[in-house]
Amino acid sequence: MLKKIDDMNYYELLEVSYRATPQEIHKAYERVRKIYDPNSIALYSLFSPEETEKIRQRVEDAYRTLIYDENRRDYDRTLRDIPPLPETPQPELRYQQRPLAAPQRTPRMAEPTVPAAEPRAEEPQQQQVPAQPPMPAAAQPAPADITEFSGSVLKMMREQRGLSIRSVADTTKLSTRFIEGIEEENYKKLPARPYIRGFLVLYARTIGYESDRIVSDYMKRFDAAMNPPKK
């Protein structure tokens, strides 16, 4: 059963392992912060501005706690079944103080006279324009001949548009891990259910289709996989 955001610990919120390095924590923080950006289309209609701000504040608290070793060790002690982060031993400085040698005076030589160089006109530098991700295509109704929009069907539709996973990730501001999770129906790679709906809306718009049928079909498959009928 998927956890609610309020029930997640800081590692789960940032989606990192309990032994993640500071570099991995910082990278995860940058990615999660983009997901919960107030201007993100994925959060539109899912959360109120107050709820979004509360989530963002919890992400900030998680980052400030896990990025510093001392704060992280204190936090780990509050978790169950998590071995505390080992303290980093401080290197022992061993040296012998050497006597200072008496300074020696060097005879001062006359500096040669160098003629002043004529000022050169600075050449204009060419400004490099960063590559922009492709803009989403105009939304069209989902193909009527498709009976069910599964992850493999979404992958086929993306490839027919000539879009790579990286280009979809750059346009939607989602990680490639989430795009792959949607197409593979690997729900372990995906966050809580409300966010999957938002991600599907972004995905559908990026590949140029209206999202209603796509979201409806996909979420039915998700619910069936996560809540199989009891025998």
Tell me what percent of the residues of the chain surpass a pLDDT of 90: 27
Tell me what percent of the residues of the chain surpass a pLDDT of 70: 68
User: Residue range 190-219: average pLDDT?
Assistant: 91
Element (H, E) at 160: helix 151-160
Give the global pTM. Answer: 0.45
Q: Could you read off the pLDDT of 151-168 as tens digits, one per residue?
A: 999 999 999 999 999 999
Decide which of 4 and 221 is more confident: 221
CA pair distance 96, 29, nearest whole angstrom: 44
User: Residue range 119-125: average pLDDT?
Assistant: 52
**CATH architecture of the region 151-226:** Orthogonal Bundle (1.10)
Q: Where in the chain is the domain with CATH 1.10.287.110?
A: 5-76
Q: Is the pLDDT of residue 194 over 70?
A: yes
Q: Could you read off the pLDDT of 7-64 as tens digits, one per residue?
A: 788 888 888 888 889 999 999 888 888 877 766 655 655 667 777 778 888 888 888 9
Q: What is the pLDDT of residue 193?
A: 86
User: Residue range 168-175: average pLDDT?
Assistant: 90
Provide the token pair at 34. 């983009």
Q: Is the pLDDT of residue 122 over 80?
A: no
User: Residue range 193-203: average pLDDT?
Assistant: 90
Q: What b/e string do you get for 110-138 counting C-beta neighbours within 10 Å, with b at 16 or more?
A: eeeeeeeeeeeeeeeeeeeeeeeeeebee
CATH hierarchy code of domain 5-76: 1.10.287.110
Band of pLDDT at residue 136, cut at 50, 70 and 90: very low
Q: Could you read off the pLDDT of 212-224 as tens digits, one per residue?
A: 999 999 999 999 9
Q: Where in the chain is the domain with CATH 1.10.260.40?
A: 151-226
CA pair distance 201, 42, nearest whole angstrom: 7
